[in-house]
Structure 1
Amino acid sequence: MSLTDSLVIEKLCSPAIWAEGPVWLPQQDAVVFSDVKGNRMFRWQRSGELQVWRAPSHYANGNARDSEGRVISCEHGRRGISRTEHDGSVTMLVEKVDGKRFNSPNDVVVRSDGTIWFTDPPYGITSDDEGYHAHSQVIGCYLYCFDPPSGKLTIAASDLQRPNGLAFSPDESLMYVADMSIIDFPTLGRRELRVYSVDGHQLSDGKRFAEVAPGIPDGFCVDRQGNIWCSCADGVIAFDSRGATVGKILLPECVSNCTLGGPNGDELYITATSSLYRVRISQ
């Protein structure tokens, strides 16, 4: 029996040009997500209310929640990582590596120890659609780990061609990372999830975990059982912890990302092109 059998898909709203980076905020009973190309962010509450959460958003893309419930965002426009405080003010946490600007931080997760892990492909600087056209100041596209209390920044992985989404396993001993370099390198690129061992503030022993098709792996999340829910061109593919496909949710729009939320953590919120969807899954 498929993990996705009999799931009901709900379309919640369609306010975006390109919806991305959903994050569940339990204190607000709401999902905040980015409209990257619209340079704004929205908040959808479970009561059904939708409102603009921030505009302009500095072309925010991926978002995460820290242990205090604050929103951590990847900003293409300012090419850094920001934190939205409880009073609504925004603090820039990190925007340079060795004095050089990042490319355009894309997706982010926060570990239980408070460290912030993020990917840095070039998609926010290749044109003015999702940021500001600019030349890269760093050689390559890396995955970074930032420790807010100490201000220490570490290159956690350097073997990725175009890193995008990322997520920890339930026990945080592993990290999964999407590499979607097939877009830029049609004959040599990757369309896969990779898996790494977590060693302090770095990753090691990276290897291919699963190929994602059709389309590319963009954003994804991991549930309490260790299943990975990953975006693809026509929906969300579910993989088990061994990399076997155990189901698929078909959607009418191209999927960018997803996150788990709701009071019981069993609601999968999916951003797909212009819309936010919800699917209740078994946990």
Structure 2
Amino acid sequence: MDAELICEGLQFPEGPIAMADGSVIITEIKAQRLSRITPDGRRETLVETGGGPNGAAIGPDGAIYITNNGGSFTWPEQNGLTIPGPTPASHTGGLIQRFDLKTGALTTLYEACDGKRFVGPNDLVFDRQGGFWFSDHGCSTPEGRKYGALYYAKPDGSHVARAREHFVSPNGVGLSPQEDVVYMADTQLGRLWAFDIAEPGKLKPQEGFGPGRVVANLPGYQLLDSLAVEADGRICVATIINGGITAFEPSGKTEHFPFPDMIVTNICFGGADMRDAWVTCSSTGRLYKARWPRPGHRLNFNA
């Protein structure tokens, strides 16, 4: 697949949003900011978020909602590459933020659920009703990992609920085109989970011992990051170590599209035919654009 380099010199880019004007809004986790990349490749800072802004999505009010991990990574350099390192001792938890594109106001929407502070919110997706599913990646500690979870929340700050918990490392989140399934990638396991939805914001009861259905486990040592869904229902998950995008069919069959970075973290779709794909290659600090072989699924809210 031919990929065009759009911008470089970014500080661990993530969370791409394809905008109607042809620009792409991204998070820069290491730089702690939300940025706009113009069609000619220039970077503009939209807001300094603090912490570690990771996922980003347009909500029903046209604002950008950000899953911020609260600074859950250190940033060692290895052979010129930026690598997410262990969680610093200063980390106290993450949050959900709202950025108003019109006024420039940045506010905190949620920091906890049922009195329990989030560990490291990671990715999010809005449903047709205007609520959003989001993952909490957990974090590392000297004694081992803090578990992550899958949540559902409303954008007005009135409701957040924990849908499933005790996952090793929840990351990318997406909805099937029919919105009857929510997908979640687990980074360390190289596993894509599927959870059947009973009604907006609520999952069907667990069956057996598993928290959900396993779409597929990648072989060998491959890690999964954030994701986007195609119009035909394939789930495109950014893949680490085997750098690229892995497209999962709901049946479990996979297809891999390599990109020039060991740590590929996210993909989004846009353009008139939804076949323009923007991919964040994070250890090298680059944003690429490619023509995808199939159209992506159009998100419920855009700007």
Normalization by structure 2: what TM-score? 0.78
Partner of 2:239: 232
Partner of 1:19: 13
Give the Cα separation in 2 of the matches to 1:46 and 1:243.
35
Q: How does 1:30-49 map to 2 (within 5 A)?
A: 30-49=23-42
User: Per-residue deviation at 1:172?
Assistant: 0.7
Partner of 2:116: 100
Q: How does 1:58-77 map to 2 (within 5 A)?
A: 58-77=51-70
Give the Cα separation in 1 of the matches to 2:260 and 2:156.
43
CA contact (8 A) 1:41 1:57 kept: no
For structure 1, the 5+ residue unaligned runs are: 1-6, 128-134, 183-189
For structure 2, the 5+ residue unaligned runs are: 71-92, 207-211, 296-303
| Identity %, equivalent residues | 27
Cα pair distance change 1:149/1:41, threshold 3 Å = closer
Normalization by structure 1: what TM-score? 0.83
Deviations 1:82-114 (A, max 9, x none): 111132111221111122321111111111111
RMSD: 2.3
Name which of 204, 207, 220 aligns with 2:227: 220
User: Per-residue deviation at 1:150?
Assistant: 6.9
Partner of 2:2: 8
Deviations 1:162-189 (A, max 9, x none): 2111100011111110112x3xxxxxxx
Give the Cα separation in 2 of the matches to 1:149 and 1:70.
11
Partner of 1:170: 177
Aligned residue-pair number:
257
Name which of 263, 275, 289 aligns with 1:278: 289
Cα pair distance change 1:196/1:75, threshold 3 Å = same
Runs of 4+ in 1 over 3 A off after TM superposition: none
Give the Cα separation in 1 of the matches to 2:279 and 2:6.
10
Give the Cα separation in 2 of the matches to 1:62 and 1:275.
16
CA contact (8 A) 2:47 2:104 kept: no
Deviations 1:211-243 (A, max 9, x none): 235521111110111111111121111222322
Partner of 2:96: 81
Give the Cα separation in 1 of the matches to 2:202 and 2:148.
15
Amino acid at match of 1:16: L
CA contact (8 A) 1:30 1:44 kept: yes
CA contact (8 A) 2:135 2:171 kept: yes
Name which of 255, 258, 270 aligns with 1:250: 258
